[in-house]
């Protein structure tokens, strides 16, 4: 197989009933690779096991002073050596391919799962756990998958050698036939401790990875408050726990490896001593003794493979269990085959709160609790959160059709949720804006509506970006660092808003899209948003009067249900609860705290 066939067009649908079932599914999915690796393993190990035969024939030919037999023995040894070399090359190549195939397949499965679950993934499992599955665990899984073919070859050759020695000397053959399984089984008592200690090491490693990711994500803030040393001490303590766990795991592994050398060595010594006694008594020839000794000594290689397979199985089962845990996270939305009508002309309804966003209107939603607003935004986007009783909450409906009954791709094409903390990936501005879109809005219109001119200036280090010609090309070629860390919070927010406006979905849900900008910039963004989304269904979660006043309709959510609806001015006059939330009258005045000096504040943003 050629590496150019990777990545896979479709990584498949794995069997997630158990870690063992998952490993078996990976092997079945690469049947051709497994068959080829098994064949090459038989060729390599079979020729290696047969090599003592021509050596023994050659020794016997010298004893018998038969030059013809000596030449024949040499020719046979040469053929076996060439075939061994060929088998080694082909086996190594196929084994590496099998390993890479399994690793890539698991990584694609994890990536697909992360894409399917979206922002809900990090709320159901730690980010460090996902990273660890996609890095360290896939290597252990790939190791086991590629080793299975070599294990089959080793077992087949062991049986062949046992049969050959049994034909020459029944007692020695019986010793080989029964001794190898006993030696192989001697490592099993160590598998339990290895698996437990590796599980501990794996769990601590995942926590350390999660801590490192959180530290890097908040590094600028940590520097602003002088907290680098505190988190460095935390990570140092976590890494020391991982190191100690790794040392404990290595002790068991070293004991297993020592056992794999000592016990086969003692076995070979004992069998050779018995064979030498037989040769001394004249019961077997010297050449036969050499051949039997070489074949028995070769059995150390299959024994090493058996020990390696036992070790690989113990760690791969742990890693496969972690992978299954991630891959088994089920989404409740987008799993049906219902068909939406015209999303642009359909009302969006949430049965849990009674909220209705009318088609073609800008609806503002006011919630006193940010967590309630976040959960409602997820439901409106078809991402059904799990309630406190462990059951999914009711699905939102678009045009009367439940979004969780619609195929995932169709649901996401109809409703786009702009998270309050959007992520910017590293790359060029053109790559950031390379998203599925209707084509109705071009990048420059989206940037203008989001009032992101200063973001373009920052990306070009002060240069003005024009919407056409060389200047426009330079802007689109500007590089964005990982997560947009070279930009301030408000700049990242506006750039992400421009990306959502460019996508121009039939229904756009915005969760606090202007929380990091000042009042003047917020007012301009509200006007740009209103003009850009004219005639399109838009839901904005906000408490800012500047945004609320631009909405066609404002809905107040209180105690998990719609409490009032109307225009902003109507609700300000006639709804005390709404007025209290918007003016923050019910909220205590917070103590004055110094702003973090590590987060840059740009013109047009709140400190």
Fold of 16-327: ABC transporter transmembrane region fold (1.20.1560)
Question: In which residue ranges of the chain is pLDDT below 50?
Answer: 1, 333-334, 462-470, 586-604, 606-607
What is the token pair recorded at 121? 């993934």
497 contacts 334 by C-beta, under 8 angstroms: no
CB 602 within 8 A of CB 490: yes
Helix axes 286-298 and 300-327, enclosed angle (nearest 10): 20
Q: What is the torsional sign of CA 116, 118, 123, 127?
A: positive
End-to-end CA distance of the chain: 57
Collapsing DSSP to helix, strand or coil, 477 comes out as: coil
| Residue 433: count of CB within 10 angstroms of its CB | 18
Rounded Cα gap, residues 432 and 11, in angstroms: 26
For residues 522 and 396, what is the distance between their CA atoms, to the nearest angstrom? 29
| Cα angle, residue 166 at apex, residues 165 and 169 outer, rounded to 5° | 80
In tens, the pLDDT along 303-312 reads 778 777 877 8
pLDDT at position 463, please? 41
For residues 313 and 359, the answer to whether their CB atoms sit within 8 Å is no
Q: Distance (Å, rounded) from C-alpha 567 to C-alpha 550?
A: 9
In 3D space, the residue among 385, 296, 363 whose CA is nearest the CA of residue 541 turns out to be 363
Distance CA 257, CA 487 (A): 52
Q: Within 10 Å of residue 355's Cβ, how many Cβ atoms?
A: 21
Q: Which of 262, 257, 361 is nearest to 305 (CA)?
A: 257
Q: Could you give phi then psi for residue 555, rounded to 5 degrees?
A: -120, 130
Specify the pLDDT at position 599. Answer: 41
- Other Cβ atoms less than 10 A from the Cβ of 56: the count is 23
The per-residue pLDDT for 389 is: 52
**Residues paired with 538 in a beta bridge:** 362, 508
Q: Which residues contact 50 (CB under 8 A, 6 or more apart)?
A: 80
pLDDT digits (tens, 9 = 90+) for 353-407: 999 999 999 999 999 788 888 888 888 887 765 555 556 677 889 999 988 888 8
For 133-285, where are the alpha helices, taking DSSP H only? 138-168, 170-185, 188-217, 219-225, 228-280
Sheet of 561-566, strand order: 415-418, 507-511, 537-541, 362-367, 553-558, 561-566
Q: How far apart are CA 307 and CA 256, in angstroms?
A: 8
Listed as own residue / partner, the contacts of 340-345 with beta carbons closer than 8 Å and 24 or more positions apart are 340/398, 340/399, 340/401, 340/406, 340/410, 340/411, 340/414, 341/399, 341/401, 342/399, 342/506, 343/398, 343/399, 343/414, 343/415, 343/506, 343/507, 343/537, 344/506, 344/507, 344/536, 344/537, 345/399
Contact between 59 and 286 under an 8 Å Cβ cutoff? The reply is yes
What are the φ/ψ torsions at residue 15 (nearest 5 degrees)? Answer: -85, 110
Which residue in this structure is represented by tokens 């100690």? 244
Distances (CA, A) of 587 to 368, 562, 574, 583, 606: 10, 21, 20, 9, 20
d(CA 522, CA 520): 5
381, 417 Cβ separation under 8 angstroms = yes
> What tens digit of pLDDT does each residue of 228-256 get?
677 778 778 888 888 888 888 888 778 87
Distance CA(340)–CA(55), nearest Å, equals 76
Query: In the chain, which residues fall in CATH 1.20.1560.10?
Result: 16-327
Q: Which two tokens stand for residue 591?
A: 């103590």
What is the Cα–Cα distance from 412 to 382, expressed in whole angstroms?
8
Residue 217, Cα to own-chain centre: how many angstroms?
18
Report residue 480: phi and psi, to 5°: -110, 125
Three-state DSSP state, 514: coil
- Quick one: pLDDT at residue 197? 78
Helix or strand run (H / E) with residue 366: strand 362-367
Could you tell me if 561 and 353 are in contact, meaning their C-beta atoms sit under 8 angstroms apart? yes
> What's the rounded Cα separation, in Å, for the pair 25 and 15?
6
Distances (CA, A) of 184 to 46, 155, 236, 421, 576: 19, 11, 40, 55, 78
Q: Angle CA(335)–CA(337)–CA(342) in degrees, nearest 5?
A: 110
Q: Are strands 348-350 and 427-428 parallel, antiparallel or unpaired?
A: unpaired
CB neighbours (10 Å) of residue 325?
14
Tens of pLDDT, residue by residue over 547-598, are 999 999 999 999 889 999 999 999 999 899 999 988 876 444 343 344 343 3
DSSP letters, 23-86, are HHHHHHHTHHHHHHHHHHHHHHHHHHHHTHHHHHHHHHHHHHT-HHHHHHHHHHHHHHHHHHHH
Q: Is 17 exposed, middle or buried (0-12, 13-18, 19+ CB in 10 A)?
A: exposed
CATH code of the domain made up of 343-424+499-583: 3.40.50.300
């Amino acid at each position: 197989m050629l590496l150019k066939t990777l990545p896979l067009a479709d990584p498949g649908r794995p069997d997630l009933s158990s870690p063992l079932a998952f490993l078996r599914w990976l092997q079945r999915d690469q049947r051709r690779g497994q068959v080829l690796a098994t064949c090459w393993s038989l060729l390599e190990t079979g020729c290696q096991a047969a090599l003592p035969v021509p050596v023994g024939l050659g020794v016997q030919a010298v004893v018998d002073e038969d030059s013809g037999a000596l030449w024949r023995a040499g020719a046979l040894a040469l053929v076996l050596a060439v075939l061994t070399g060929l088998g080694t090359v082909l086996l190594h190549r196929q084994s590496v391919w099998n390993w890479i195939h399994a690793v890539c397949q698991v990584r694609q499965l994890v990536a697909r799962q992360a894409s399917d679950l979206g922002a809900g993934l990090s709320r159901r499992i730690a980010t460090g756990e996902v990273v660890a599955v996609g890095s360290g665990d896939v290597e252990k899984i790939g190791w086991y998958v590629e080793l299975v073919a070599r294990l089959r070859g080793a077992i087949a050759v062991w049986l062949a050698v046992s049969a050959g020695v049994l034909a020459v000397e029944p007692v020695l053959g019986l010793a080989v036939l029964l001794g190898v399984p006993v030696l192989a089984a001697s490592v099993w008592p160590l598998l339990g401790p290895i698996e437990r200690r590796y599980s501990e090491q794996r769990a601590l490693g995942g926590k350390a990875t999660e801590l490192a990711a959180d530290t890097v994500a908040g590094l600028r803030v940590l520097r602003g408050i002088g907290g680098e040393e505190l988190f460095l001490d935390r990570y140092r303590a976590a890494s020391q726990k991982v190191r100690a766990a790794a040392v404990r795991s290595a002790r068991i592994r070293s004991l297993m490896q020592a056992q794999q050398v000592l016990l086969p060595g003692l076995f070979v010594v004992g069998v050779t001593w018995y064979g030498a006694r037989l040769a001394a008594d004249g019961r077997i020839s010297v050449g036969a003794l050499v051949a039997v000794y070489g074949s028995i000594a070769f059995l150390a290689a299959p024994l090493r493979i058996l020990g390696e397979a036992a070790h690989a199985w113990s760690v791969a089962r742990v890693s496969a269990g972690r992978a299954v845990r991630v891959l088994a996270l089920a989404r409740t939305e987008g799993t049906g085959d219902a068909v939406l009508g015209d999303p642009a002309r359909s009302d969006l309804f949430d049965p849990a709160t009674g909220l209705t966003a009318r088609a073609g209107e800008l609806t503002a939603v006011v919630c006193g609790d940010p967590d309630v607003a976040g959960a409602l935004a997820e439901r409106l986007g078809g991402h059904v959160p799990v309630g406190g009783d462990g059951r999914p909450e009711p699905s939102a409906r678009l045009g009367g059709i439940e979004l969780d009954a619609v195929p995932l791709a169709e649901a996401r094409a109809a409703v786009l949720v702009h998270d309050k903390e959007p992520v910017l990936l590293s790359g060029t501005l053109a790559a950031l804006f390379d998203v599925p879109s209707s084509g109705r809005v071009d990048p420059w219109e989206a940037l203008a509506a989001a009032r992101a001119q200063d973001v373009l200036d920052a990306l070009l280090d002060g240069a003005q970006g024009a919407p056409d010609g060389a200047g426009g090309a330079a802007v689109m070629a500007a590089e964005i660092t990982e997560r947009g860390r070279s930009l301030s919070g408000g700049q990242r927010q506006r750039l992400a808003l421009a990306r959502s406006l460019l996508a121009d979905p039939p229904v756009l849900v915005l969760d606090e899209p202007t929380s990091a900008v000042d009042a003047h910039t917020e007012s301009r963004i509200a006007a740009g948003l209103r003009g850009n989304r004219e005639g399109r269904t838009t839901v904005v979660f906000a408490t800012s009067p500047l945004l609320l006043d631009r909405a066609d309709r404002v809905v107040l959510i209180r105690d998990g249900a719609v409490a009032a609806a109307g225009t902003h001015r109507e609700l300000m006059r006639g709804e005390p609860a709404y007025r209290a939330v918007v003016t923050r009258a019910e909220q205590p005045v917070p103590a004055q705290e110094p702003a973090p000096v590590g987060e840059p504040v740009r013109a047009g943003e709140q400190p």
